Chains A and B, each alone.
Chain A
Amino acid sequence: MTRAASPLEANAAAALADRRLQRALAEVPGGFAAARERAKAALPEFEALRRAARDIKDHTLANLDLYLEEFEDNATAARTKVHWAPTAAAASDIILAICRESAARLITKSKSMVSEEIGLGARLQAAALEVIETDLGDYLLQIRAEAPSHIIAPAIHLGAADIAADFRRHHRQLPPERDLASPEALVSEARGVLREKFLAADVGITGANFLVAATGSAIIVTNEGNADLTLSLPKVHIVLASIEKVVPTLEEAFVLLRLLARSATGQEITAYTTFVTGPRRPQDHDGPEACHVVLLDNGRSDLLGTNLREVLRCIRCGACMNVCPVYGAIGGHAYGSVYPGPIGAVLTPALPGTHDGGELAGASTFCGRCESVCPIEIPLVALMRRWRERAFASGSWRQRGMLRAWALLAAHPRAYHLMARLAVATLHLLARGRGAFSRLPFADRWTRTRDFPAPQGHTFQRLWARQQRKQPP
C-alpha cells in the first residue's frame, strides 16, 4: 500500500497539482455535505439527537471497562469468541491464528478502517493468504495498491477510465471486447469477479460500526451488501473493532444509527444495517460456524481520562472532512494517515507508530466548520489546539522563540507601540505609494501567490493620541 512518508506540505503540493484529484475534490465532498444539510433539514429532531448521541458516547466512555465486560459476557453467551488485542500486532496475530486454525486460504474483507490502521492486509498476504477487499471502492484501491483517501468514499480520486484500465489489467478472465465504458458496466464486472470470491471464501473479516453491550452484537452498515455476503457465506466470521465502538443498548444504537448515514452521505439509512450476534444457530441452514470479535486498543485507552478523550466519540461518518477547506484542497492521501481530515488530525497523533507529533493539527485554519457538523459534537478545534500545545511544549527553541517574542513584545505596550510605529512606517515607505507589495523579502511565503497589502503608514494608536491631544477634554 502506498502511504506517503514525506511531510504534509510536500504531499499537499503534489495533491494541489493533481488535476484529476482536484476535479473529484471539487464535487464529491461538497456533494456529501449538501446531502447532509438536506437530510438535517428534513429531520426536525436532528439537533436533539446530536446532543443525545454525545451524552450516550460520553457515558459509555466513562464506563468503558464495564460495558466491554458486559459485551464480552453477552457475546460469549451467544457463542462468539471474544479476543482482546492491546496492540496492532496482537490483533493481526490473533486473526492470523484464527485463519491458520481453520486452514483458510481465501479471505473476503469488508470495509474496516481499523484493519488499515493495523496493516492487517500486509500481514495476511505475508502469510500467503489471499485477501480480497469487497467494498467496491476498497477493491479498486486494492488492485492499484493504493491507500484510501476518504473514509466513506475511499476511491473518490479515481475516474471511470482509470477503473476500466485497472480491470483490463487485473481481471484475467475479462474478454478484451467487453464494454467497460459506463459505471454500470464496471459495477457489473466487479460484481461478477467478486461474486466468485464471496462464494469461495474460507474466512470473512468485517469491521463494526458499533458493538452493542446489552446483546453482544456487532452492527455493520453498508449500501452494497458486501459485508453481508462476507459475514454469511464463509465458515468463519471475524469482526475487528476498536474498543470505543461499544454502545450500551440497541435503543441507544438507534440514536447513533439515525445520525450516521445522514451525516455521512445524506441518506436516512443505508441499504443494509445488520446486527450479528454469534455464529449460526444449531437449526440454521446458513451462516458461519464460528464467530470471533477482536477488540483492539492500540492507543485508545491512553486517551481515556485525558483532555483528548472526546476523540473517542467518533462514529466515522466523514462529515468533518466533507466540509473541511484543507481536506477539500488536498484530499485524503496528503495527510499520510489512515484517518484524514479533521478527525485524522486529532486521532492520528494518538495512534502508536505514527510519527505525526501534532503536525496535522497544525495544518488547520480553525474555521470550525468540522465541529459544526460533527454528529456527536466532538470539539475538534479545541482538540487540535491541545495537540498544538503538546507540540509547542516539546518544540524547538526556534519555533517557540518566534511566538514567545511576539507575546513578550505585546506584554510591554510602550515598546510594542514603538516597534509597531517603526515597522509600519518602514513598510509604508517601501511601498512607495503602492497599495500592496507583489514581493516582500521576509514574506515570500505570502507574496508567492498573493499581494501583501501595504499598511496605511501610521498606527491607529498614534493617530488617535494625536487626535485626542487636539480636542479639549
Chain B
Amino acid sequence: MATGETKKPRVGLFVTCLVDLMRPSIGFAAVRLLEAAGCDVLVPAAQTCCGQPAYNGGDRASAKALALRTIAAFEGLDYVVAPSGSCAAMLKRHYPRLMAGDAAAEARARAFAERVHELTAFLVDVRGLNAVPGTFAGRVAYHDGCSGLRELAIARQPRALLGAVQGLELVELADREACCGFGGLFSIKYPGISDAIAERKTAAITAAEPALVLAGEIGCLLNIAGKLAREGSDIACRHVAEVLAGEMSAPPIARTQVRK
C-alpha cells in the first residue's frame, strides 16, 4: 500500500433473513451505499437469522445459539451493518443480554456489539456521508420502525440522508412514532389487532399524500405495503436504501410494475 493511503474499512453486511428471502434489491442498495461511503463490503455466507423470532417468542436457548453463530460468522470484520433497525438492535443491544451469566460469551457479545450499526446510522454517524447516488422527484413519507427508533435512537439519520436526495420532498406523518402493527409473529398471531393498528398507520400515510412511503425496516414495509395494496392505494413502498442508492429498477413492494 502506498504511504498515506487509508485502508478501507471492511464492513460485513448483515443481510437479515427477510431481505435475503423477500427483497434482495435492498441488500444491493445497501452495498452500493456502503461502497459510496468508502467501504469494502463482505457478505459472510454463514449468516442466517439474527434470532429475533426465537428471542421474542421466549426461546432464549435457541436465540443464544443463533447469536453465537452470528458472532462467529462476522469475526474479523471492522463493522457489521444491517439495513434493519430491529436486527441491528437485536445484535447490538440484546446479544450481550442473551449471554448473561456466561462471562466469556458476554465479553464476546459486547465486543461484537460495538461493531454493529444500522445502515443509515452507520452512513451518517460513522462514515459522515452527506451525498447519496439516488435522486427522486416527489413527495416522500418516512415511517420510523419502532426498534430502530426506541432502541437505537434512529430518526435523524435517515432524514438527513433523504435531505441529500435531489428533488425529494419529505413530509412527516401524523403521530409518526406510532407502531405499524407488524411486530413480527404478532401480525399472524393476532391478525385482527395487527390489522387495526395497520389501518391507523395507512390512514396517516394516505392523509399525508406522498407518492412514496419509506422505512428502514422490511418487516414494517411488508405490512404497510400489503395493507396499502389491499386498500387499492396508489402510494408506493420501498426501503429507504433503495431511494438513497438510486436502486429503483425493481417494482415497489407488493407492486407489479414500476410506478413513478
B147: chain A residues within 8 A (beta carbon): 366, 368
B226: chain A residues within 8 A (beta carbon): 436, 446, 450-453
CB–CB A458/B24 < 8 A: yes
Q: Does B114 contact A (CB under 8 A)?
A: no
Q: Does A16 contact B (CB under 8 A)?
A: yes
Binds B, one of A125-133, A250-258, A383-391: A383-391
Closest Cβ neighbor of B25 among chain A residues: A456
CB–CB B58/A391 < 8 A: yes
Among B28, B175, B183, the most chain A Cβ lie within 10 Å of the Cβ of: B183
How many Å lie between the Cα of A460 and that of B30 in the bound state? 12
Q: How far is the CB of A20 from chain B (nearest CB, A)?
A: 15
Interface size on A, residues (CB 8 A): 67
Within 8 A of A (CB), among B150-207: 150-151, 175, 177-179, 181-184, 186-198, 200
Partner of B51, one of A367, A395, A409, A410: A410
What 0/1 pattern do residues 346 to 366 of A give for CB contact below 8 A with B? 000000000000000011111
Q: Does B75 contact A (CB under 8 A)?
A: no
A445: chain B residues within 8 A (beta carbon): 188-189, 191
CB–CB A369/B193 < 8 A: no
Q: How far is the CB of A363 from chain B (nearest CB, A)?
A: 5
Query: Given contacts A411-B65, A436-B254, A450-B198, is CB(A406)–CB(B146) below 8 Å?
Result: no
Query: Given contacts A363-B186, A365-B182, A403-B57, is CB(A449)–CB(B22) below 8 Å?
Result: no
Query: Given contacts A325-B181, A366-B146, A367-B146, is CB(A449)–CB(B191) below 8 Å?
Result: yes
Q: How far is the CB of A385 from chain B (nearest CB, A)?
A: 7
Partner of B45, one of A409, A435, A436, A461: A461
CB–CB B46/A403 < 8 A: no
Q: How far is the CB of A213 from chain B (nearest CB, A)?
A: 33
Within 8 A of A (CB), among B9-66: 15, 17, 19-25, 27-28, 43, 45-49, 51, 53-60, 62-63, 65-66
Q: How far is the CB of A410 from chain B (nearest CB, A)?
A: 4
Partner of B225, one of A406, A453, A464: A453
Q: How far is the CB of A35 from chain B (nearest CB, A)?
A: 15
How many Å lie between the Cα of A424 and that of B49 in the bound state? 16
Query: Given contacts A362-B189, A393-B58, is CB(A16)–CB(B196) below 8 Å?
Result: yes
Q: Does B251 contact A (CB under 8 A)?
A: yes
CB–CB B58/A453 < 8 A: no
A465: chain B residues within 8 A (beta carbon): 45
Closest Cβ neighbor of A26 among chain B residues: B200
How many Å lie between the Cα of A25 and that of B63 in the bound state? 36
What 0/1 pattern do residues 107 to 131 of A give for CB contact below 8 A with B? 0000000000000000000000000
Q: Does B69 contact A (CB under 8 A)?
A: yes
A446: chain B residues within 8 A (beta carbon): 187-188, 191, 226
Within 8 A of B (CB), among A361-382: 362-369, 372
CB–CB B150/A407 < 8 A: no
Q: Does A329 contact B (CB under 8 A)?
A: yes
Query: Given contacts A436-B254, A460-B15, A460-B19, is CB(A365)–CB(B24) below 8 Å?
Result: no
Query: Given contacts A325-B181, A363-B193, A460-B19, is CB(A449)–CB(B230) below 8 Å?
Result: yes
Q: How far is the CB of B188 from chain A (nearest CB, A)?
A: 4
What 0/1 pattern do residues 222 to 237 of B give for CB contact below 8 A with A? 1101110110000000
Q: How far is the CB of B56 from chain A (nearest CB, A)?
A: 6
Closest Cβ neighbor of A30 among chain B residues: B175
CB–CB B54/A403 < 8 A: yes
Closest Cβ neighbor of A329 among chain B residues: B196
A420: chain B residues within 8 A (beta carbon): 17, 20-21
Q: Does A48 contact B (CB under 8 A)?
A: no
Q: Does B127 contact A (CB under 8 A)?
A: no
Query: Given contacts A329-B196, A367-B146, A450-B223, is CB(A388)–CB(B56) below 8 Å?
Result: yes
CB–CB B193/A12 < 8 A: yes
Q: Does B253 contact A (CB under 8 A)?
A: yes
Among A435, A436, A452, A453, the most chain B Cβ lie within 10 Å of the Cβ of: A453
A452: chain B residues within 8 A (beta carbon): 222, 226
Among A30, A372, A411, the most chain B Cβ lie within 10 Å of the Cβ of: A411
CB–CB A453/B192 < 8 A: no
CB–CB A411/B66 < 8 A: yes
Query: Given contacts A326-B197, A329-B197, A365-B181, is CB(A460)–CB(B190) below 8 Å?
Result: no
Within 8 A of B (CB), among A438-467: 438, 443, 445-446, 448-456, 458-461, 463-465
CB–CB A456/B22 < 8 A: yes
A30: chain B residues within 8 A (beta carbon): 175
Closest Cβ neighbor of B61 among chain A residues: A407
How many Å lie between the Cα of A363 and that of B196 in the bound state? 13
Closest Cβ neighbor of B48 among chain A residues: A410
B51: chain A residues within 8 A (beta carbon): 407, 410
How many Å lie between the Cα of A390 and that of B59 in the bound state? 9
Q: How far is the CB of B132 from chain A (nearest CB, A)?
A: 21
A400: chain B residues within 8 A (beta carbon): 59
A435: chain B residues within 8 A (beta carbon): 229, 251-256
Among B21, B25, B43, B198, the most chain A Cβ lie within 10 Å of the Cβ of: B21
CB–CB A407/B181 < 8 A: no
Q: Does A84 contact B (CB under 8 A)?
A: no
Q: Does B77 contact A (CB under 8 A)?
A: no
Query: Given contacts A449-B227, A456-B25, is CB(A368)–CB(B48) below 8 Å?
Result: no
B179: chain A residues within 8 A (beta carbon): 325, 365, 367, 369
B20: chain A residues within 8 A (beta carbon): 420, 459-461
Query: Given contacts A325-B181, A433-B256, is CB(A392)–CB(B59) below 8 Å?
Result: yes
Closest Cβ neighbor of B31 among chain A residues: A464
Q: How far is the CB of A43 from chain B (nearest CB, A)?
A: 20
Extra contacts besides A12-B193, A403-B59, A453-B253 (4): CB < 8 Å? A326-B193, A400-B59, A451-B229, A455-B21
Q: 10 tightest CB-CB pairs across the interface, nearest first?
A: A365-B183, A392-B58, A407-B62, A388-B58, A450-B226, A460-B24, A367-B179, A367-B146, A436-B254, A329-B196
